[in-house]
Amino acid sequence: MEATQQYIAGSKEKFLNELMDFLKIPSISADPAYSDAVHQTAEFVANQLKNIGLDAVEICQTAGYPVVYGEKMIDENLPTVLVYGHYDVQPADPIDLWTNPPFEPVIKTTPIHPQGAIFARGACDDKGQAFMHVKAVEAMLASGELTCNVKFMIEGEEEVGSENLAIFVNENVDRLKADIILVSDTGMLANDVPSITTGLRGLSYVEVEVTGPNRDLHSGLYGGCVANPINILTTMIASMHDENRKITIPGFYDKVIELSAEERAEMAKAPFSHEKYCEALDIETTFGETGYSTMERGSIRPTLDVNGIWGGYTGEGAKTVIPSKAYAKISMRLVPDQNPDEITNLFQTHFEKIAPQGVKVKVKPHHGGEAAVTPIDSIGYKAAALAYESTFGKKPIPVRSGGSIPIVAMFEKVLGLKTILMGFGLDSDAIHSPNEHYGLFNFYRGIETIPYFYKHFAELSKE
């Protein structure tokens, strides 16, 4: 990998400039106003794949945004790595809280990134991370050191649920034939504490509507006489956690796999500072389910959280009104073996049951997905661990993440393939938030580490 590493060392500026161009296109998949930009971003990715020398590059149209495909098949006897990433990003709002415009990337240093970080929407999630794979393969191809066949599948709808990707994968099982899936769309513990993500939570997401009277009412004339949908909705939501912060929906925990004492002890070995955690968030203390550590609450335990709530008058000054309707968006993060459709049904049944007389309720399910876990005794995991050792000089720690990438479980079902999650972001990189950024250290270290995965995966596959 000598030549590959030299190529990377000599291309740092070029790689960074190209990433900047990638970040400048506002590929917000959730907002139809950005549709042209999302398509333009797919073209950018396709051009990149062509320029680094991949074959069969194609912008594959779907009912939504395209999937960009490209491959380099060097020898049918070698193993094949399927790289997945996403070129779409989250909306940038609240825009006022950004210190630079979200699609005009700038490099700034932070206490955690003394060597500089690139600030832009998508810098870490996932343009910066997906781009590391493009550049790592460029380096291996240019140096004649690619040791596996490689296929790229970069989609444009991850942040909105990957519905069309699921269709694409089902229709392209042959084209996507591979031995392992490689993804950088997660994080690691710290820049000096490398870790590999071995689990992702699933997701069930619902929107609820509570309707009281048929129109907004004067809160003096009608106050105290009719059910106020906001009062009712907040009471219903509050009742969904008990005094131990356990979720009260009947059956919610039935399929949850509890970890053994050994597994929990192993997890507890990962470094975690309660003090630093609170300090970074400016909170006095953490909050959550009794009997579990913060690390556990955020990874191996399911949750129920309101993501947004609205209704009534929220403008300037006071308006005395009892609203006709109240709404909330609620996410439930799931763990193995909870099934998202089942959980959505349990939620719906419960929500309808606890609604008092005098209001009508509606539950609208959104996208969801299953949790996923990766075994650490597979050759994929071993190859990744050896790769981190080569560049970080220490063994990575296996860590289960609280985030969700629903297509990982789908890949396993449809393609029969496990995914290795080599994420290089940090929790403090503010993904989905204002001032999202990605450390230059992380970007370059990722590009340097990925080639070693190919080397070790090829070697371990021979044995």
Of these partners, ligand BES, Mn ion, none, which one is at the site of residue 401 (CB under 5 to 8 Å by kind)?
Answer: ligand BES
Residues 120, 178, 405, 447: which binds ligand BES (CB under 6 A)? Answer: 405
**Token pair in block for residue 112:** 């955690």
**Nearer CB in complex with ligand BES: 150/405:** 405
Q: How many residues bind ligand BES (CB under 6 A)?
A: 17
The candidate with the shortest Cα–Cα distance to 329, out of 314, 345, 303, 308, is 308
Going residue by residue from 157 to 196, which x/- string records binding to ligand BES, judged by CB under 6 A?
-xx-x-----------------------xxx---------
The candidate with the shortest Cα–Cα distance to 232, out of 78, 371, 69, 351, is 351
Tell me if 203 contacts ligand BES by CB under 6 A: yes
**Nearer CB in complex with ligand BES: 12/367:** 367
Q: Which residues does residue 197 pair with via DSSP β-bridges, in sequence order?
A: 399, 421
**Nearer CB in complex with ligand BES: 48/404:** 404
- Distance in Å, CB of 201 to ligand BES, minimum: 8
The candidate with the shortest Cα–Cα distance to 309, out of 202, 237, 205, 227, is 237
Of these partners, ligand BES, Mn ion, none, which one is at the site of residue 403 (CB under 5 to 8 Å by kind)?
Answer: ligand BES
Of these partners, ligand BES, Mn ion, none, which one is at the site of residue 128 (CB under 5 to 8 Å by kind)?
Answer: none
Sign of the torsion angle spanned by Cα atoms 399, 401, 405, 408 = positive
Alpha helices in 292-436 (DSSP H): 294-297, 340-354, 379-392, 407-415
In one-letter notation, the amino acid at residue 181 is I
Tell me if 155 contacts Mn ion by CB under 5 A: no
- Distance in Å, CB of 425 to Mn ion, minimum: 9
b/e burial code for range 167-184 (CB count within 10 A of at least 16 → b): ebbeebeebbebbbbbbb
Distance between CA atoms of 212 and 230, rounded to whole angstroms?
A: 9
Residues 185, 429, 436, 448: which binds Mn ion (CB under 5 A)? Answer: 185
Write the CA distances from 50 to 131, 134, 295, integer angstroms: 14, 10, 42
Tell me if 126 contacts Mn ion by CB under 5 A: yes
Tell me if 125 contacts ligand BES by CB under 6 A: yes
Distance between CA atoms of 83 and 182, rounded to whole angstroms?
A: 5
Distance between CA atoms of 272 and 294, rounded to whole angstroms?
A: 9
**Which range touches ligand BES (CB under 6 A), out of 146-154, 298-306, 320-328, 397-405?**
397-405
Tell me if 401 contacts ligand BES by CB under 6 A: yes
**Nearer CB in complex with Mn ion: 149/158:** 158
Of these partners, Mn ion, ligand BES, none, which one is at the site of residue 367 (CB under 5 to 8 Å by kind)?
Answer: ligand BES
Element (H, E) at 153: strand 149-155
User: What are the residues binding Mn ion (CB under 5 A)?
Assistant: 125-126, 185
User: What are the residues binding ligand BES (CB under 6 A)?
Assistant: 125-126, 158-159, 161, 185-187, 200, 203, 367, 369, 401, 403-406
